[in-house]
Amino acid sequence: MTRIALEDGLVLTGIPFGSPRDAEGEVVFNTSMFGYQEILTDPSYAGQIVVMTTPEIGNVGVNADDEESSGPKAVGMVVRELCAPSNQRSTESLHDYLLRTGVSGVSEIDTRKLVRHLRTVGVRRGIVSSESVSDAALVERARAVPSMEGRDLATEMSTKEAYEWTAPMRAPHGMAPEVPAPKSDLHVVAYDYGLKLAMLEELRRIGCRVTVVPAAFPAERTLALKPDGVLLTNGPGDPAAVVGAAEAVRDLLGKVPILGICMGHQILALAAGAKTYKMKFGHRGANQPVMDVASKRIDITSQNHGFAVDGDSLPDGVRVSHTNLNDGTVEGIEIPGARAFSVQHHPEASPGPQEARSVFRKFRAAMER
Active-site residue list: 262, 346, 348
Contact 155, 235 (CB under 8 A): no
In order of 132, 248, 259, 265, 267, the CA distances from 245 in angstroms are 43, 5, 14, 12, 7
Q: For residue 175, count CB atoms less than 10 angstroms from its CB and return exposed for 0-12, middle for 13-18, buried for 19 or more.
A: exposed
The whole-angstrom separation of Cα 45 and Cα 240 is: 17
The whole-angstrom separation of Cα 117 and Cα 174 is: 36
The whole-angstrom separation of Cα 344 and Cα 42 is: 15
The whole-angstrom separation of Cα 5 and Cα 141 is: 9
The whole-angstrom separation of Cα 127 and Cα 32 is: 23
Neighbouring residues of 205: CB distance < 8 A, sequence distance ≥ 6: 169, 181, 182, 360
Written as one letter, the residue type at 289 is P
The whole-angstrom separation of Cα 126 and Cα 139 is: 8
Which parts of 150-207 are beta strand (E)? 163-165, 186-191
The whole-angstrom separation of Cα 283 and Cα 290 is: 12
Number of helices (H) and strands (E) in the chain: give both, helices first.
10, 19
Using CA atoms in the order 290, 292, 296, 300, what is the torsion angle rounded to 10 degrees? -30
Written as one letter, the residue type at 272 is A
The whole-angstrom separation of Cα 70 and Cα 205 is: 21
The whole-angstrom separation of Cα 313 and Cα 241 is: 18
